[in-house]
A and B are shown apart, each in its own frame.
Chain A
Amino acid sequence: MRTVQVNASTSYRPIEFFLTAGVLYLVLTLATSRIGRWLETRMRNA
Chain B
Amino acid sequence: MFDFSLISDNASVLLRGLALTVQICAMGICLSLIGGGLLLAFRSCLGRGSAWLYDVYVTVFRGTPFLVQIYLVYFGGPYIGLDFSAEVVGIVGLAMYGSAYFAEIFRAGVEAISRGQLEAARDLGLTRQQTLRMVVIPQMFARCIPPLVGQTVILVKESSVLSIITVPELMTAAMRIANESFSILEPYLVLALSYWALTLLVSRAGRWMERRYTQHLSLKV
Contacts and interface: CB of A to CB of B under 8 A. Distances in A.
B125 interface: no
A14 B72 contact: yes
B65 A25 contact: yes
A18 B59 contact: no
Contacts of A8: 71, 75
Given A19-B76, A26-B59, A14 B71 contact: yes
Interface string A8-33: 10000011001101100110011000
B68 interface: yes
B67 interface: yes
A15 B76 contact: yes
> Which secondary structure dominates chain A's binding surface?
helix
Contacts of A26: 59-60, 63-64
A14 B68 contact: no
B79 interface: yes
A5 to B, nearest CB: 8
B160 interface: no
A14 B59 contact: no
Interface string B38-60: 00000000000000000000011
A35 interface: no
Interface of A: 1, 5, 8, 14-15, 18-19, 21-22, 25-26, 29-30
Interface of B: 59-60, 62-65, 67-69, 71-72, 75-76, 79-80
Sort A-B residue pairs by CB-CB distance and give the 8 closest, nearest first: A15-B76, A14-B75, A29-B63, A26-B63, A18-B72, A22-B64, A14-B76, A22-B68
